[in-house]
A = this chain, B = another copy of it.
């Protein structure tokens, strides 16, 4: 009992859809590419929800509206409506009005309350939201709602921007013979340096749970996963992770099921985080950064972010260059009062820096390790007992190409 039926699966075509949700997508013409840019998820008979949002002081209109709706509805959400291609950020009071209008029209169509609609936007900052294009597609969306795996996959596709592939993860476990399903869907490729959440992620489940319980679980899971990744050191204005529970499995989140749910939720978030970093803009190498022996989680994060924000470190990784001196310099710049002579650095299975100085190592072997798609770097600080796993990427010419040509 309470064993997962199977591990978290990532491959498309293998996802499971929790009971109580339907999905639909549409092409509203927000994206110039003509790809799907509207995604709708509906929990017709209601659901409880909790969310975490960006800590960027410049928060997009949908972040403000989503937060207000969750509060106003006391965590009861029936609709998630996402547009890609436009962030509706830095759009002033008109941006908030636009977002509220889209929510109102959606709620009206389903005869729900306005604050039961949870909105999200992702795309370019500072361009007015094309409200009419979205509203014109609402009835199409409603007609096409489906609980099929294909519709959930289409949902995962419609929320993408610079991503090269959709990001999904699902898992099941049983509670007293009843299967409980979780389905996570995310997008994100650039502007990834989450301090509260990541670009956009939605975790649907059919367990029954109160919003407060969901919030607790979600915050714990995101800290260890979405908050421990970085692509380019830019924290987005639209970061949102939503956990939404239909209760349709018949199983409840009670003390007996809590630890299993915690575990599976974390697996889902971890898988989505990894998929986001793997699809990092221009990334050719994924670096598994282990920061060990820190005093607190906060300082280990600060060091991981300093390393993963250093253009010199990231370009060295692009060249598979075992230049550990740049890593040490980034640690020295992190703001954490590290004593350099206590720092140890390992690349793959080799120690390359001992007590803050050169440690003889096989350089071609370190180069070969860093040439792999996945490489690991371990930093030991000898300050305390806190360890952190952090995921990041290299910085390539392709990243520059992608971002020098985005809006013009």
Contacts and interface: CB of A to CB of B under 8 A. Distances in A.
Contacts of A321: 404-408
B338 A57 contact: yes
A235 interface: yes
A323 interface: yes
Q: In this complex, which of A87, A90, A93, A340 has the most chain B Cβ atoms within 10 angstroms of its Cβ?
A: A90
Contacts of A367: 408
Interface stretch (A221-229, A254-262, A290-298, A327-335): A327-335
A301 to B, nearest CB: 14
Interface in A314-334: 315-316, 318-326, 328-333
Tally of this chain's copies = 2
A338 B395 CA distance: 29
Interface stretch (A36-44, A122-130, A136-144, A212-220): A122-130
A271 to B, nearest CB: 26
A151 interface: no
Instruction: Tell which of A190, A340, A341 has the most Cβ of chain B within 10 Å.
Output: A340
A93 B57 CA distance: 45
A313 to B, nearest CB: 8
Contacts of A191: 312, 329
Contact of A56 (B309, B333, B400): B333
A181 interface: no
A233 interface: yes
A58 B339 CA distance: 8
Given A311-B233, A325-B87, A56 B406 contact: no
Contacts of A358: 90-92, 126-128
A333 B90 contact: no
Interface in A330-371: 330-333, 337-341, 353, 355-358, 363, 367
Contacts of A355: 92
A144 B48 CA distance: 81
Contact of A407 (B323, B333, B400, B408): B323
